[in-house]
Structure formats: C-alpha cells, structure tokens
Structure 1
Amino acid sequence: MTTPPLLPDTMAAVLLTGHGGLDKLVYRTDVAVPKPAPGEVLVKVTACGMNNTDVWVREGAYGTEEDAAAVSTWRRQGNTLTFPRIQGADTVGTIVATGEGVLTGRIGERVMVDFSIYNRDDDSLADIDYMGHGRDGGYAEYQALPAENAHAVDTDLTDVELATFCCAYLTGEHMLERAGLKEGERVLVTGASGGVGSGIVQLARARGAIPYAVVGKGKEQAILDIGAEKVVTRGVADLPEAVAKATGGRPIDVVADLVGGPLFNDLLRILRPEGRYTTAGAIAGPVVQLDLRTMYLKQLQLHGSSQGTRKDFRRLVRYIEDGKIRPLVGGVHRLSDFHRAQSDFMAKAFIGKLVVVPDAVHDAQADGRS
C-alpha cells in the first residue's frame, strides 16, 4: 500500500489578480494547497513551461470581463477566467494525493499533464478550456487536476525537459493533424524558433514530412540542428522567392503559421494549389488582409487550431518515449522570480521554451540533491 506523504496547508504560487501589466502577477507563499476532488489527483509541481497564452490572457488580448464581445466567450461557459487565477499549462510533477475514485497506487507517479479541460467525451474540440484559465494551473508548488490528464511518461528526460513539450508540442501536433500533413510532404513553419514552431519542425520529421522554417536572424543554425531542411531568415524582401529558392522550386503542401500579420498573404501565395494553411497564433498581428481570390482560385484549405485532442496527446507521449522529438530548454527560472521570467519570455531572445520551477526544487537542483 502506498503511504501518502504529509502535505502542508499552504504553498507558494503566482496569482494573476487581473488584466494589465506584470504588477498583476503576485507571488505569495500563503496560498492554500488544493485538495483533489473525486476523480482528481494532487500533483507536487517540479516544473512548468511558459507560453504566449499566459501573456495574452494577462493583457486581456482574448477579451476582458467587461468586454461583451470577448474572444473567449465562444466557450459554452462563456469566459471561464476568474481572479485570482494561477496560470501555467505545462505542468510536470509527482502525484502526492488522490481523490475519491482514484487508485492510491498512483501516488508517486511522475507525470506530464495534459492541460486541456475536455467538456465532451469525444475528440471534438468545440467545447474545451484549459488549466491556467478555467481552473488553476502549475505556477505553484501543488496543482489539483483530473486523474485522466496526468500521464506517466517512460523517459529519462528531466522534469524541466519534459515541461517543454506539453502545450507547445500538443498545439503543433494538432495543427499538423488538422492540416493532414503526410509523409514526404513539405511544410513551411513560421516562428520556428519559438516553443510551438520548433516543436512543429520536429513533429513534421516524426511524420516523415520535410520542414522548412522561417526564423529570426541569428537563430538559423539552431533550427537546422533540430531538423529543418532549410531556413529562410525573417524579413527578406521577397518571402515567396526566398522559399522557392530554399526548396529548389519544389511545392509547399502545408503552411504552419504562428506569425500572421503582414506575412499572411505571402504565405497563401507560397502554398501550392489545393495546399493547406493552419494557424494557432498570430504574434505579428491577429488582423490580416485576405484576398479571397487567392483562396478560392487556388482551392486552398484554411484551418484554425487550438490545443489538441486526447489522441493527439497520447501520440505526443509516444513520440517522447520513442525519442522522435527532443526538448529545447531556453532557460530556467525560479517561481519567485516570475516577473523576470515573463519579461525574458516576452523578449524572445531564446530558442525553445522557458521553464519555471518552484524555489525549493530549483535550490535542490542547484545543490545537486535532485
């Protein structure tokens, strides 16, 4: 029989207290440790990856409580964000307690968390939410979550390395799944040095496809090293010409776009007739101009994508266990230094993912105890 560890009553956590600047993120050490409800587990957090969504939610980019036309209100429940909220989607840690109906034998499992809150039993994503928005996430020492979302992963990767996959790679995998990327096809990835983009480069290779990447200056070699066939430096005068040169005139079957903004029309021009465009972000601007003639005369498919399905997550776990994808740790920060962590994240001077760890875990790793 597994004996549950003694748990504290309070924990350290970063609370999002409202929409606005970094001052809305408050580090506290007196937050109540959550208790797992029936069907849930309590995870002692050892690492949590950072994402653009954390910033956009803080800034109110998806809409605010006062905004009746909030982007997030497409969900069945309306805007599920309430304050204070603990953000953080990419949790890795150890199960330390179980709720009613969950085997106590799971205590002690090291798990990677599927951050999606599924409101349906099938694989439709028409009604989803996510941890760190609809319920508390992993920027804390403990997190309670549905037991089905806690996945044991058979890997020698460290907790920090494992925390680089969750949100970014699941998002990327669902983008490629929606676009139907097949073995031997060519995919152009924008924003390829970020968490999702660098993940897509590797996920495309895992499918047997050929990834080409658009990256910022100085990051070209790093993206070639993880599997890009060729790279194009962002900001070239004629993107379609530069891509054609990189591919040797071969067609691009799929564009996986995370940038949007002024690049959008060029990306549609780059696609072959009957090509597929898929997007899960717009870091250069969400509002774009679309020439419908390009879309219908080339008979293009346009796919919006967000998060991923249970099947996508299980496939991601298999990729990790089979060594088909590898982590890219761009930096590690203490939980108490969260303002600096998010400032570094927004500066985008790294490749891959930034990861936050609770102070006690960080100190133990620094001392060689973990």
Structure 2
Amino acid sequence: MKAVQVMGYGDVDMLELVDISIPQPKENEVLVKVKACAINNTEIWMREGAYGTGSKSGWKPEGVNFPRTPGSDISGTIVKVGELVEETLIGKDVVLFPFTSSGEEGVEHISEDMAFIGSEYDGGYAEYVAWPADLCLDMPLPSYEESAVFSVSGLTAWHMVSQIQIKPGETVMITGANGGVGSLNVQIASKVFGAKVMAIVGDLSGEERLKELGATHVLSYKSKNLTQEILEMNGGPIDSVLDVVGDSLFSTSLQVLKKGGKFCISGSAGGQKTELDFRTLYLKHITMYGSVLGTKEEFKDLLQAVTEGKIKPVIDRTFPLDKAKEAQIYFKEKGKLGKILLLPEEA
C-alpha cells in the first residue's frame, strides 16, 4: 500500500511517500481502508520534536520509533477482521477513537500507558490501518470527509468545554477560533452548552462564518485594544477562556477573566513558554486546566451531537495523500477556517 511516513525528527522533508505491506489485524483488531484523514497539530509537533525537552519527543518519554506513519483523525471502511472479531463488521463505515489505554473509564486519557495512533502506532496517512475493533465507532455522518474531522480535534474540544463546566449564558473566550479545535470549541460551547462565545482570530474575513457556527462576537488578536474591546462587548469580565494559542494571548486572557474565572489550554501555537505573575492567579481566584484528548464516553457524546446536527464539520481544504508535505505546510498558514484533509484514494 501507499503510505506517508516520518523518517525522523525535522522539517517536512522528513515525510516520505513509501510502498509498504498492508498491516494484518491482530486477533482483536480490524483492518480499515482509510477514506479520509484530517491533519492535526499533534503529528506536526511529533515530527518537529515539539513534545520533548531533549532529543526524544512523542506522547511517551522514550520518543517515537521511526519510521512512523502519522495521522489520527481517520474515517474508513472495515475490510478485514481478526480472529476474535465478528465478521459482520466487514463493510462497516467507522471513525477511530485515537488512542489505547488501560486506564479506568473516565480517566483513560491520563493513564501512564496511553498510546496514540500516529505516534505510538502507525496511523492514517496510508491506504490501510489496523486498529482495535472496540475503538472503531459508527461514522456520525454519511460522508467520510465530514466524519473524519472530529476524532482528535472534536474530542479535545469537547473535553475542554466539559472541564470548565460551562453553564448556559456564561461568556467564554475562544482563541484560535478559526482552527480545527477552535472552530469546534465555538460550536460545542454555544450550540451544545449554551454559552456566549467571543471568538478570537487574526483575519476577520471569516467573521460571518464563525457567527454561523455560534460565535456572539468575533475579534482580531491584532487589535491594539483587544482587552478593552472584550470587556466592553461583554459588559465586564468574562467567565472562561478556552485557549489553543499559548503565550501570545495569555496575558490578555488573565486580564479579561472575572474573579473565580477558568482558563483551559490545549495548545501553544502562539508560544510554548510564558511569563506568569502568580499574584494574578491567587488574587483573582483563577482555576487553570491543562487539557488534551478526552474519554471514550465523551467521544460517544460528541459523535451523538454531530449525528443530531448540533455540531457541523468545517473543512478548509483537501489534499491527496501524496501531497502530505504541501498539506502540512498549508496547515501552518494563517487565515484558514476548519480542517485540512488527506484523501488516500485521490493519490
């Protein structure tokens, strides 16, 4: 089969299109013919070594074993099953829950042995992928492309919103609102949990689209008076912040939060390190959350909300599998709205 593999830590030139054997499913696994695989920051940062503090980087401290096929937002069709899996699953259209874990239900995402597809396992930048049968769930939508955009970004967004326990009518500021996680944060916070959403982006050309997704206000982080604009539009401090940007908007986030406010971060595209005056935290009684991925139960809740039409897929652009380098470069450009997809059958 055709696959795109990461040969080591580095730039996009570490991605190579290769011919490798189709994986054979183990006794509890199925073989999925990949129809679509969305791109996430996770596989780019894995390739760049951004998760590590030394020469090794990955979801586990020992680092990634190269070559590795990345890709974790996967939809496709089951075409073969392992010995212990019912053959009736053949032909089923599925999306993949993106990690394995021995953790108990509700805390599986923070288990020490959590292992991620596309990092610890070969993922969806390929024509086929093998994965445990119990981690393959029904596609929420008829379209492979539209169903592929929710696994990692959607699970991450759902868990972020759940962690800060948003209540109807509360105001939440969402940074990077035009991105994969951010655009889903907007929808989940507003359409599912009933919050007022203040979406922060760079380019205001997508303002109307973000309002269609549920944003009450859309502001540009380029504004010289962003803090004041947020406070004026909300009529005072806000309840919560959902952040995927990091350093560049951290100070603003703390300034606009109310006393007793909540700050949840799940990304640092705008800077991985920041300065923090601890007095701001304790004098304003701010609660901080670090967040990534979520639980299997949350994933099921997310897919149900998608099926019910409360959350809609937002796709910016698609690429054939053999254009994975171009797709990852495009992914890092500013001004997009929604997910970038790889389509193996178009290669």
**Fold match, TM over 0.5?**
yes
CA distance in 2, matches of 1:212, 1:329: 21
1:304 to 290, 299, 314: 290
Asked whether 1:41 is paired with 2:30, we answer yes
Question: Residue deviations 1:314-347, cap 9 Å, x none?
Answer: 1111111100000111001000111111111111
Partner of 1:112: 95
Question: Residue deviations 1:105-131, cap 9 Å, x none?
Answer: 011110011112223232212222310
Question: Residue deviations 1:228-283, cap 9 Å, x none?
Answer: 00111111113221111222x14411100111113212201111111110000011
Asked whether 1:21 is paired with 2:6, we answer no
Partner of 1:226: 213
Secondary structure at the counterpart of residue 100 of structure 2 = strand
CA distance in 2, matches of 1:64, 1:254: 30
Give the 3 Å change call, closer, same or farther, for CA 176–27 of structure 1 in structure 2.
Answer: same
CA distance in 2, matches of 1:134, 1:182: 37
Asked whether the equivalents of residues 172 and 198 of structure 2 are also in contact (C-alpha less than 8 Å), the reply is: yes
Question: Residue deviations 1:84-140, cap 9 Å, x none?
Answer: 000001000000111122111011110011112223232212222310001011000
CA shift, 1:47, in A, is 0.2
Partner of 1:264: 250
Asked whether 1:216 is paired with 2:202, we answer yes
Q: Which amino acid aligns with 2:301?
A: R
Count of residues in Structure 1 that have an aligned counterpart in Structure 2: 342
Q: Gapped runs of 5+ residues in structure 2?
A: none
Asked whether 1:31 is paired with 2:33, we answer no
CA shift, 1:350, in A, is 1.9
Q: Which amino acid aligns with 2:275?
A: Q
Q: Which amino acid aligns with 2:7?
A: T
CA shift, 1:54, in A, is 1.4
Partner of 1:92: 75
CA shift, 1:15, in A, is 0.6
Give the 3 Å change call, closer, same or farther, for CA 99–65 of structure 1 in structure 2.
Answer: farther
With normalisation by structure 1, the TM-score equals 0.89
Asked whether the equivalents of residues 231 and 246 of structure 1 are also in contact (C-alpha less than 8 Å), the reply is: no
Question: Residue deviations 1:35-71, cap 9 Å, x none?
Answer: 111211110000000011111111111127735xx5x
2:44 to 51, 55, 77: 55
Secondary structure at the counterpart of residue 92 of structure 1 = strand
Asked whether the equivalents of residues 92 and 159 of structure 1 are also in contact (C-alpha less than 8 Å), the reply is: yes
CA distance in 1, matches of 2:37, 2:178: 19
Asked whether the equivalents of residues 37 and 342 of structure 2 are also in contact (C-alpha less than 8 Å), the reply is: yes
**Amino-acid identity (%):** 37
Secondary structure at the counterpart of residue 347 of structure 1 = coil
Q: Gapped runs of 5+ residues in structure 1?
A: 1-10, 364-370
Asked whether the equivalents of residues 244 and 269 of structure 2 are also in contact (C-alpha less than 8 Å), the reply is: yes
Asked whether the equivalents of residues 140 and 304 of structure 2 are also in contact (C-alpha less than 8 Å), the reply is: no
CA shift, 1:34, in A, is 0.5
Q: Which amino acid aligns with 1:207?
A: F
Asked whether 1:144 is paired with 2:130, we answer yes
CA distance in 2, matches of 1:36, 1:122: 25
Secondary structure at the counterpart of residue 48 of structure 1 = strand
CA shift, 1:173, in A, is 0.6
CA distance in 2, matches of 1:316, 1:228: 19
Secondary structure at the counterpart of residue 138 of structure 1 = coil
CA distance in 2, matches of 1:164, 1:257: 19
Partner of 1:12: 2
CA distance in 2, matches of 1:301, 1:39: 41
Asked whether the equivalents of residues 87 and 138 of structure 1 are also in contact (C-alpha less than 8 Å), the reply is: yes
Secondary structure at the counterpart of residue 110 of structure 2 = coil
Q: Which amino acid aligns with 1:225?
A: E
CA distance in 2, matches of 1:53, 1:119: 22
Secondary structure at the counterpart of residue 213 of structure 1 = strand
Give the 3 Å change call, closer, same or farther, for CA 79–219 of structure 1 in structure 2.
Answer: farther
Asked whether the equivalents of residues 183 and 208 of structure 1 are also in contact (C-alpha less than 8 Å), the reply is: yes
Cα RMSD, aligned residues only: 1.6
Question: Residue deviations 1:8-40, cap 9 Å, x none?
Answer: xxx000010000111110001x21100111211
